[in-house]
Amino acid sequence: MLHVGLLQSLQRSPSVSNQERHKIVSILVVITVIFMAVFGPYHLVGGYRFVSLLPTDDPCRPERTLFLVYRLCYGLTSLNTLLDPLFYIFLCPDARLELRRSLPCVKAPQQRTPSLSRLPER
């Protein structure tokens, strides 16, 4: 969940326009969702794994059952190093344009130039 104090100070700031506030809140929401999607499963499975070891006499049984799921969730955490930079890149309009230019299979939007037939006569 987003920090309430941060949102309150953002709302009170006179130097930030409504459009900028909306963009900042959107960025914070996306970063929080990425964080929860990447690290949430790992911590949930890790917590369950810890709790499942407490009442058992055979600690190997729950460990064998959860091993694959735990390792997959652990691998999922490394996606954060990929998703955050990609998100920040796509925030910047210049970066999106450069990405389009660098990929030969994606056409960059062409700037409209007035055609000769539309030019005013002299």
pLDDT band at 39 (very low <50, low <70, confident <90, very high): very high
Q: What tens digit of pLDDT does each residue of 64-79 get?
A: 888 888 889 999 999 8
Q: What mean pLDDT do residues 2-26 have?
A: 80
pLDDT, residue 115, reads: 47
Q: What tens digit of pLDDT does each residue of 88-108 get?
A: 877 877 877 777 788 777 665
CA distances from 66 to 40, 56, 72, 85 (A): 16, 14, 10, 31
pLDDT band at 3 (very low <50, low <70, confident <90, very high): low
State phi, psi for 104 to the nearest 5 degrees.
Answer: -70, -25
What does the alpha-carbon distance between residue 36 and residue 22 come to, in Å, rounded to a whole number?
21
pLDDT at 122 over 50: no
| Contact assessment for residue 73 and residue 80, using Cβ atoms and an 8 Å cutoff | no
